[in-house]
Chains A and B, each alone.
Chain A
Amino acid sequence: MSNTQPATQDKSATAREETRSDERYLRPAVDIIETEEGMTITADMPGLDKKNLDIDIDKGILTIQGHVKKSETPHDLYREFELVSYYRQFHLPEVIDPDKTKAEYVNGVLTLTLSKLAAAKPKKIEVKVK
């Protein structure tokens, strides 16, 4: 599994933000785990509303997007984070079956469960000893 543009992914996200709108994007941190049956992608995307979350698989490219509405805190004293929109893309391997993707958003974490095509799953062949 690889990013679409491994070396310049951050830059591509920035270019996108500049050409599209004044909205800013953040690359969410992810965990990706592959097992024999499929893949689990977990992304930290706090502060989102479920309906503003877009997940899309097109030609083997997975796009995760989330739009955050800005919250206004009056009389700021101290600021460490800013809620901005999320955007990240991944190139999926061919063995993934895009139609069997499940998504879940709990406590600000998006979990995507991707299945592999039946042909790509390992098969156990038992050897019968006569």
Chain B
Amino acid sequence: MASWDVFRELDSLRREMDEALRGAGTARVMVPAFLSGSRRFPLVNLGEDDQAIRVEALVPGIDPKTLEMSVVHNTLTLAGERKPVEVGNRPHAWHRNERGFGKFSRTLELPAQVDVDKVSASCENGLLTITLPKAEAAKPKKIAVKAA
């Protein structure tokens, strides 16, 4: 975790650039809730408190049962497949095709070690919420200072 990785640095620089440029022009809405054709899917939010790390991911159109989630050390991987709209063999015409489909996989590095056995997740209306309790070693400890 402490070692310096040139590729990771470049990747995070690229992300920062993307982030900085994305808002230009359409300033008000920060980020669309879902970007089809984006290199990143699903989009995630990361939050943290003393006890746990919370990850929110947007997974519209994905059956939660088919979503694969794995945690190794401090990385979280989400993988799955978004199915195309079913049209069958009937003749049809596309008027809009913006949503996109296909397989995806995304790995996140978590900011602390987590307790792998206590990870829980729920998925409601295309919004996946994962709670990853921190490992004992990663929780903040209060140390009392004794007055002499």
Q: Is B97 positioned at the interface, with any CB of A under 8 Å from its CB? A: yes
Q: What separation, in Å, do the CA atoms of A2 and B62 have in the docked complex?
A: 28
Q: Check A80–B31 contact: CB distance below 8 A.
A: yes
State which residues 62-99 of A face B: CB under 8 Å.
71, 73-84, 86
Q: Is B4 positioned at the interface, with any CB of A under 8 Å from its CB? A: no
Q: What separation, in Å, do the CA atoms of A32 and B121 have in the docked complex?
A: 32
Interface size class of A (residues with CB under 8 A): 35 or more
Q: Is A126 positioned at the interface, with any CB of B under 8 Å from its CB? A: no
Q: Is B118 positioned at the interface, with any CB of A under 8 Å from its CB? A: no
B81 to chain A, nearest CB (A): 13
Q: Is B76 positioned at the interface, with any CB of A under 8 Å from its CB? A: no
Chain B residue contacts of A45, Cβ below 8 A: 33, 60, 126
Closest to A86 in B: B33
A100 to chain B, nearest CB (A): 18
Partner of B91 from the list A31, A35, A76, A105 (CB cut-off 8 Å) is A35
Q: Check A82–B29 contact: CB distance below 8 A.
A: yes
For B33, B34, B61, B95, which residue has the most chain A Cβ atoms within 10 angstroms?
B33
Q: Check A34–B54 contact: CB distance below 8 A.
A: no
Given A31-B85, A40-B85, also A46-B127 (CB < 8 A): yes
Q: Check A80–B43 contact: CB distance below 8 A.
A: yes
For B40, B43, B95, which residue has the most chain A Cβ atoms within 10 angstroms?
B95
**How many pairs of A and B residues are in contact by the CB < 8 Å rule?**
147
Q: Check B45–A108 contact: CB distance below 8 A.
A: no
Chain A residue contacts of B54, Cβ below 8 A: 73
State which residues 51-74 of B face A: CB under 8 Å.
54, 56, 58-64
Q: Check B96–A32 contact: CB distance below 8 A.
A: yes
Query: Besides A31-B94, A35-B90, A44-B60, 9 other CB < 8 A contacts?
Result: A14-B28, A29-B34, A34-B92, A36-B90, A40-B87, A44-B61, A46-B33, A46-B58, A75-B48
7 closest cross-chain pairs (CB), A and B: A108-B126, A46-B126, A108-B60, A73-B47, A32-B95, A46-B60, A29-B98
Q: Which residues of B contact A (CB under 8 A)?
A: 26, 28-34, 36, 40, 43-49, 54, 56, 58-64, 85, 87, 90-100, 111, 123, 125-127
21 CB contacts below 8 A, A to B, read A10-B26, A28-B33, A29-B99, A29-B100, A30-B98, A32-B95, A35-B91, A40-B87, A42-B85, A46-B34, A47-B125, A48-B125, A79-B45, A80-B43, A81-B31, A81-B34, A84-B29, A107-B60, A107-B64, A108-B59, A109-B60
